[in-house]
Structure 1
Amino acid sequence: MGNYVARAEIDVEAPRRTVWRVLTTNGRHPEIMFGAEVRSDWRIGSPIVWRGTWEGRSFEDHGRVIELEDREEPWRIVLTHFSPLSGEPDVPENYHTLRFELDEIPGGTHVTLDQDNNPTAEAARHSRENWVTMLEGVRAVSERGD
């Protein structure tokens, strides 16, 4: 079993603080995480839950906030993530780490998302496709200013 990393990147025509707010605000946006509702108090060590429906199946993914870098200007958030839809047991070795990094660029923000712990290159490609879709939603919401 490997540890392949899925990387998704996108440029957003919005300030870093706006993108940060979209990533760390509770509630639901149809464009983000397949319409899931997200809940957390956004403190290190706190739980995070994503609830929704995907392909007609209800899901409740969960994890923890393990890193927040937002002292002067927000730029990194790291979360653990587990999806029961994976069919795998809910044990630490089946969790992914999601690392979002927000870099200021001319006219906006470059967002990089890395997801570790993919068992194969094919699994990493599939995860990357899902995360690209999610980041496109983050871009849409951020650029609208919701």
Structure 2
Amino acid sequence: MELKYEFYIGAKPDKVWEILTSKEGTRSIFFGCELRSAFREGEPFEYRGPGSDGDETVHVYGTILAYEPGKRLSMTEHPGPSYYSNHAELESRMTYTLEEMGECTKLTLINDQWTENHPGMENARASWWMILSNIKTLAETGRTLQLGE
């Protein structure tokens, strides 16, 4: 199963990249979670933030597969330990690709290679629309969407 999204954003790729990879940017678009990583291929990453285990809840973790600043970020990902006891067995791949198009950026996200019967896939299907819409809005306006609680 593959989840694929394409967004056209009225901002240059470096601005979109900053939102995708900086602590401040990811806190704004990923429900208060920061992306923490050394951003080297083969190195680990975590999205940490408020949750059932306090402010340092690990929501998603995995390994960086590709890191090309301003162009491509690919990662294997697992749900955090507080979500499923078999979290290490549950995996998918997330790949962001940025393409400059004039004064805009085409952002493509592919979330694929899902472990069979992955219980988080339906949640991801619903959440990606909010996250990607928030990236677009933040890059274009400097503000995030007020989606409520």
Regarding TM over 0.5, the answer is yes
Match of 1:14 in 2: 11
Match of 1:64 in 2: 63
Question: % of aligned pairs identical?
Answer: 24
Provide the C-alpha distance between the structure 2 equivalents of 1:23 and 1:145, rounded to a whole number of angstroms: 14
* Aligned 8 A contact 1:22 1:142 in 2: yes
Unpaired stretches in structure 1, ≥5 consecutive residues: none
Residue correspondence of structure 1 range 1-146 to structure 2 within 5 A: 4-27=1-24, 29-53=26-50, 57-58=52-53, 59-60=57-58, 61-70=60-69, 74-84=70-80, 86-87=83-84, 89-91=86-88, 93-116=89-112, 117=114, 119=116, 124=121, 126-144=123-141
Residue 42 (structure 1) shift: 1.3
Provide the C-alpha distance between the structure 2 equivalents of 1:86 and 1:11, rounded to a whole number of angstroms: 32
Unpaired stretches in structure 2, ≥5 consecutive residues: 144-149
Larger RCO: 1 or 2 (CA < 8 Å, sep 6+):
1
Q: In structure 2, what residue type is equivalent to 1:65? A: I
With normalisation by structure 2, the TM-score equals 0.75
* Aligned 8 A contact 1:11 1:111 in 2: yes
Residue 106 (structure 1) shift: 3.5
Q: 1:128 to 1:106 in 2, by over 3 A?
A: farther
Please provide the CA RMSD for this pair.
2.6
Provide the C-alpha distance between the structure 2 equivalents of 1:80 and 1:115, rounded to a whole number of angstroms: 9
Question: Secondary structure of 1:87's partner?
Answer: coil
